[in-house]
Amino acid sequence: KVKSQLEEKEGKTFDVFTAVEFKTQVVAGTNYFIKVHVGNDEFMHLRVFQSLPHENQPLSLHSYQGSKTKHDELAYF
């Protein structure tokens, strides 16, 4: 659901976009930290926010980090 948001921010499209790991953090909603394989040996870390159910808001890409590898630790950012 956030692939198009990332593509818009990066100004490119990703042929490969596969989540390989994730962590969560409960706040006034939920932060998801997701490691995504975007092709070749390239990975990105995404921070996606899901608001509380009663707010009825879509998932939103809060921030991301590029130039990651398969072995980089997925951590809060």
74 lies in some domain = no
Q: Residues near 3 by Cβ (< 8 Å), separated by ≥ 6?
A: 14, 17
- Give me the percent of the chain exceeding a pLDDT of 70: 100
- Please give the average per-residue pLDDT across 11-37, as a whole number: 93
Q: Using 50, 70 and 90 to split pLDDT, how confident is the model at 44?
A: very high
Would you tell me how many other CB atoms lie within 10 Å of the CB of residue 29?
Answer: 14
**Maximum separation of any 2 CA atoms in the chain, in Å:** 40
Q: Are strands 60-68 and 18-27 parallel, antiparallel or unpaired?
A: unpaired
Tally of domains in the chain? 1
77 lies in some domain = no
23 lies in some domain = yes
**Among 13, 11, 17, which residue's Cα sits nearest to residue 46?**
17
35 lies in some domain = yes
Q: Using 50, 70 and 90 to split pLDDT, how confident is the model at 29?
A: very high
SS3 70: coil
| 1: pLDDT strictly greater than 90 | no
Question: Does the predicted model carry a pTM greater than 0.85?
Answer: no
26 lies in some domain = yes
Domain residues for 36?
1-69
